[in-house]
Amino acid sequence: QVQLVESGGGLVQAGGSLRLSCAASGPTFNNYRMGWFRQAPGKEREFVAGISRLGLSTYYVDSMKGRFTISRDNAKKTVNLQMNSLKPDDTAVYYCAATLGALNGSSKWVYDAMNYWGKGTLVTVSS
């Protein structure tokens, strides 16, 4: 089992940028597909972005595509989420998640497909 710790959240103005990072424990980070999810106040947790084991494939929902970029560094055991052109609707707690499953397609990236979760980091976008 791995432990995941998110960082980089904070307060940013609309149109600004923020970079989130997720640090993983253990020696088997490269075996996991990694993803970012978010949960806004009073709403369900939703998928944001996912990345394959070697970082060769990435997955996004339409509202984030072109603004958000997911990446990973297996040597450092980290996964990042670069967020640009932020909107107030992006305000949420952002969670890092990991799975050993093969998720070939954005529709496969759902809450129940993930095996491990971080505690989240809060992103607040002001208008």
Res 1 pLDDT > 90: no
Q: Which amino acid is at 96?
A: C
Give the residue from 24, 44, 6, 4 showing the smallest Cα distance to 123: 6
- In this predicted structure, the answer to whether residue 102 has a pLDDT above a threshold of 90 is no
Residue 64 has pLDDT above 90, yes or no: no
Average per-residue pLDDT for the chain? 95
pLDDT exceeding 70 applies to what percent of the chain?
100
- Distance (Å, rounded) from C-alpha 49 to C-alpha 101? 16
In this predicted model, what pLDDT tens digit does every residue of 65-91 receive, in sequence order? Answer: 799 999 999 999 999 999 999 999 999
pLDDT at 33 over 90: yes
Token pair 């999810």 is found at 37
Average pLDDT (3-25) is 98
Give Cβ neighbours of residue 73 (< 8 Å, ≥ 6 apart): 79, 80
